[in-house]
Amino acid sequence: MTHPESLNPDANASLVLEYIHAFRQSKTMFVATSLGIFDELAAGPRTANQISSQMSLNPDAAARLLNACVSLGLLQKHDQTFSNTATAQKYLVSTSPDSLAGYIVYSEKSLYPLWGHLDSAIHEGTNRWEQTFGSRTALFDHFFRDEAAKRSFLTGMHGLGQLTSKAVVRAFDLARFQHLVDLGGATGHLAIAACEAYASLRATVLDLPAVSDMARECIANSVMADRVMFQSGDFFTNDLPPADLYAIGRILHDWNLDQSVRLLTRIHQALPPGGALLIAETLLDDDHTGPRHALMQSLNMLVCTEGKERSCSEYREMCVAAGFQSVECHRTATVLDAILALK
């Protein structure tokens, strides 16, 4: 039975109801993706009975899930047959080059449980790994605990990178630089985008040995395979490969202030005079009341890591403390913004 107040709420109630119901929508998409509903429909339209039989699902429950996905704009329904929308086909099918399915599965399996303990994180100011998963396993040890988990996490990060890297590397004119080293660059999406944007640039992706196989695979399948290479290493402990331009994307938000300045100082020391560091992070407004996606991400970092999201002025202070002379920020209109620090 539909409650009348949910159909005709006043403006203030509508806002509250939207937030009450928001997690239901996310969880619907998470479960449909994790089950492989969109992958199943990538092969062609199916009825609810066909899907439930093929995937060993309860027929009534499967029909409810499918119809809910129609209401979310993720599926289409004609008569009794379901098919993917263009959005689902592009972003929710795991084999799509633009897929966000890996990030969704990571959100379902890791972030959703961690957020269930946000109240404890607010009380204590620390991440929720031990409370949620029963151990103090380091962040990336958890993501790399087995091949399936590692691939899901890296695929998710690659999908996000596909949405942001082209804008980040074009936020500033980087044409004068010759060699980019992307520290913690994972699958190489930013390095590839940078080489596509600047014809004279070559790039090296530095990341942990566990990333090597998937990174080399993504680079080899890109149009920049002849100008991008992968090198195994730890940017906190190993010597940094020589470069006149370093990049770190979604790295500093993992760490507290002291660890971040330590990394920035290592990068500054490795750069030649006139070199630069390109930082890709989600920028908070200076008064820390927006943008909303940045504030939600900052809470996400609270339950996941030792870090947080920061404002342009905070990044400028960190870079100056590490020795950089000039720091500029640029909002890209994507979920990641760009900061350029010059030596």
Catalytically annotated residues = 253
Residue 230, amino acid: F
Q: Give the closest residue to 297 by CA, choosing from 165, 24, 307.
A: 307
Residue 143, amino acid: F
DSSP 134: S
Q: Give the closest residue to 158 by CA, choosing from 236, 84, 94.
A: 94
The H-or-E segment that residue 60 falls in is helix 59-71
Length of the chain as a residue count: 343
Which tokens sit at 172? 């500033």
Which tokens sit at 282? 């989600």
Which tokens sit at 213? 């196989």
Over 226-284, what HEC string results? CCEEEEECCCCCCCCCCCCEEEEECCHHHCCHHHHHHHHHHHHHHCCCCCEEEEEECEE
Which tokens sit at 131? 């409370």
- The phi and psi torsions of 82 (rounded to 5 degrees) equal -105, 145
What is the SS3 assignment for 82?
strand
Distance between CA atoms of residues 74 and 69, nearest Å: 5
Asked if omega into 209 is within 30° of 0 (cis), the reply is: no
Q: Give the closest residue to 237 by CA, choosing from 196, 200, 273, 209.
A: 209
Hey, which residues does 205 pair with through a beta bridge? 182, 230
**Neighbouring C-alpha atoms within 13 Å toward the C-beta of 291:** 13
Distance between CA atoms of residues 72 and 64, nearest Å: 12
